[in-house]
Structure formats: structure tokens, C-alpha cells
């Protein structure tokens, strides 16, 4: 949270929509309506997600899609790309603080959460696991440098990565490094960059438990 305060001095855009980062102004989807949640950190993830989000919107026109972002530039890019889709709502992901993440996941109650690239949020993953919300890491990549960084905290990293229900890595080296971090080999598959070749099984989105079993079964 301190880094955002620091960034706000350099970039005033970080001060906009600040209440969303503290879990205020959460979207209301209606009783028993569970959205598809997609988290994009910034511009790169927003660009990479175009095929995925458009396919989901076309396949499930009545299903709300909640897109969360981390940076102002990511929000601006996501708005530019997806605001024309009626079922899409764009918000900042709250700070990864226990009380905020517990509230976010309780109120929003996503049917599935899809996170792009390799941005892992410890408390988000913890509460998603507790609430039985399947989490899929898509377009995952991990450089040698990032691997060394994560290996400095092996226990914490393994606890995070083992909560994931499915990991779709970009390429085989990414897959091997993620396995070194503790990812279950039965839960990971290298499918290429989804920006160019998407093969996420969107047809499997029915209900949370079915998604979990179908995704794991298909890519196990």
C-alpha cells in the first residue's frame, strides 16, 4: 500500500477511484448472480486478454464479467478495449489486505477468477481457496530472475501457487520454473501466448464446482 502512496505523488491518477482500493463502491450484480472475474495488472495484460474476454462475452452474453486492474494505465486500457461490452464492469482490485480481500470475495462472490500473467496476491488466493472459488492463472510466465526472487521465500511462494486450480503457462521453460516453485504438474500446461493463440476452455464455465473439475480434468 505504501508504494501506491509513493506513486500517487508522481502520478495523480493513482488518487482517482481510491475508494475502490479500500473495497468501497463494489459492483452489484443481483441476488445469486456470480460474475466471471478477470484480473489484469496493467496495459500488457489488458492487451493480452482481448481474445479471452471477447470470447467470454460472446459465449455468455448474459453473464456479468468483472475486470479488475492494478494501475491507472491498465484501467485506461481496459476501459478503451472493453467498455463497449455491456456485461463488463471495470474496477481496481482492493489492496491485498485480509479484511479487504475477504470483503471483496464475499460481496462479489465470483464464479471463477482468472488472473493473467504471474501476479500472485497472497490474501486473495487464501480467501478464494476458503470460499471455494476456482482460480486459474492464464498466460503465466516466469523468468529466471523472477524465479530466483520467488525462491528466496519458498514456503510463502509454494503456499500461494498450490492454491491455484489450473495454470496455463506460456511456454515450456515457464512451466518448468513454475513447477520448481511448487506448482502441481497435474495442474499446469504450456499452451503458448494467449495473445496469439487462445485455447482456454471457456465452454466449461457452468458453475464453480463443475468448472474446477472440468478444467482440471481437461488439462490434467
Point out which residues pair with 36 in neighbouring strands: 65, 112
Q: What is the DSSP letter of 202?
A: G
pLDDT at 34 over 70: yes
pLDDT at 205 over 60: no
Lowest mean pLDDT among 37-51, 99-113, 169-183, 191-205: 191-205
Nearest to 78 by CA among 91, 61, 63: 91
Distance CA(22)–CA(1), nearest Å, equals: 10
Catalytic residue among 45, 117, 159, 209: 45
Q: Is 45 a catalytic residue?
A: yes
Per-residue pLDDT tens over the stretch 170-181? 999 999 999 999
Q: Higher-confidence residue: 11 or 145?
A: 145
SS3 content of the chain, % helix, strand, coil (to 5): 50, 15, 35
Distance CA(159)–CA(73), nearest Å, equals: 30
pLDDT at 2 over 70: no
- Domain spanning 34-219, CATH class: alpha beta
- Mean pLDDT within 81-99: 95
Cβ pair 116, 41 in contact under 8 A: yes
Model pLDDT, residue 207:
42
- Mean pLDDT within 56-80: 92
Cβ pair 167, 137 in contact under 8 A: yes
Distance CA(172)–CA(97), nearest Å, equals: 33
Amino acid at each position: 500500500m505504501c508504494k501506491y502512496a509513493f506513486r500517487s505523488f508522481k502520478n495523480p491518477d493513482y488518487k482517482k477511484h481510491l475508494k475502490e482500493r479500500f473495497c468501497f463502491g463494489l459492483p452489484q450484480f443481483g441476488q445469486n448472480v456470480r460474475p466471471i472475474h478477470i484480473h489484469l495488472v496493467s496495459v500488457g495484460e489488458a492487451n493480452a486478454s482481448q481474445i479471452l474476454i471477447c470470447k467470454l462475452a460472446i459465449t455468455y452474453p448474459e453473464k456479468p464479467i468483472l475486470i479488475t486492474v492494478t494501475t491507472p494505465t491498465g484501467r485506461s486500457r481496459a476501459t478503451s478495449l472493453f467498455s463497449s461490452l455491456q456485461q463488463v464492469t471495470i474496477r481496481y482490485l482492493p489492496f491485498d489486505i485480509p479484511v479487504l480481500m475477504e470483503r471483496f470475495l464475499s460481496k462479489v462472490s465470483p464464479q471463477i477468477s482468472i488472473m493473467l500473467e504471474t501476479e500472485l496476491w497472497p490474501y486473495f488466493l487464501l480467501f478464494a481457496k476458503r470460499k471455494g472459488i476456482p482460480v486459474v492463472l492464464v498466460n503465466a510466465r516466469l523468468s529466471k530472475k523472477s524465479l530466483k526472487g520467488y525462491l528466496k521465500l519458498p514456503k510463502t511462494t509454494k503456499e500461494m501457487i498450490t492454491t491455484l486450480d489450473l495454470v496455463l503457462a506460456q511456454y515450456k521453460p515457464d512451466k518448468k520454473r513454475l513447477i520448481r516453485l511448487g506448482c502441481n504438474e497435474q495442474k499446469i500446461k504450456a499452451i503458448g501466448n494467449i495473445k496469439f493463440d487462445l485455447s482456454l476452455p471457456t465452454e466449461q464455465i457452468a458453475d464453480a464446482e463443475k468448472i474446477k473439475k472440468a478444467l482440471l480434468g481437461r488439462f490434467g
